Amino acid sequence: MNNAVGEVQTILLLGGTSDIGTAIVARAVQPYTRTVVLACRDTAKGEHSAAALRRDGLTVEVVAFDGADTAGHQALIDGVATRHGDIDLAVVAFAALGDPDITRQDAQAAAALTQVDFVGAVSSIVAVGNRLREQGHGSIVVLSSVAGERVRAANPAYGASKAGLDGFCQGYGDWLAEQGARMLVVRPGFVHSAMTDGMKPAPFATTPDKVAEVTVKALRGRRRTVWAPPVLQLVFSALRHLPGPVWRRLPLS
């Protein structure tokens, strides 16, 4: 539970090796934070992330987590709460970009990507939400994407997954607020990270630490949705209304 001055004491990161996720956790850790749990598929890599976070008085645990294993999500969340008490902040940061040259043509590959990025994310959010509702407090940060604002031909399976996830979170977040918990949806643009290594940066490209800075500021300001960088909100307020023929001619689509 948050302490007397509102500092989070237990943080859970689903996607424990995510560059953006670990940057958010690093900024969210406060002097009285006592536990961070990194849940990830590659636990060896997760231990490297944990080593960078550990300090005196802060326990960092690494646990195995598979976004596609929806049947195990609730048990994992409940296990974290059993070991460490209330979850004050959960960050949902796992996702796969996939290879659009494959997912645009291979039905099974497209289904596998959306199983992780949409179905798995929704499952894990509901599992965390169940715990937060039982506690009567807590926050969930969900990494959406500007890719979901208007899905591009460049990667439709990924973009559609983020569009669906963002829409789910808007509705679920409203319902969750009635239960005493809250949700923050983060919409980053292109982020220089391991996921995008080797890709051509889009305009207004940013870094994991900059996304983390915007995210933690929004958490403290009780925001519901935030863009990273913030200028993208203005950019997409125009882009989402472009006629289809114009949109399709843009180099980003």
Write out the catalytic residue numbers.
Answer: 158
For the chain, how many residues are written? 253
Contacts with 25 (C-beta within 8 Å, 6 or more apart), sequence order: 11, 13, 36, 38, 53, 91
Closest CA to 152 of 88, 92, 205, 103: 103
The DSSP-derived string for 63-128 is EE--TT-GGGHHHHHHHHHHHH----EEEE-------HHHHTT-HHHHHHHHIIIIIIHHHHHHHH
180: left (phi over 0), alpha (psi -120 to 50) or beta: left
Cα dihedral 6/10/12/13 (nearest 10):
70
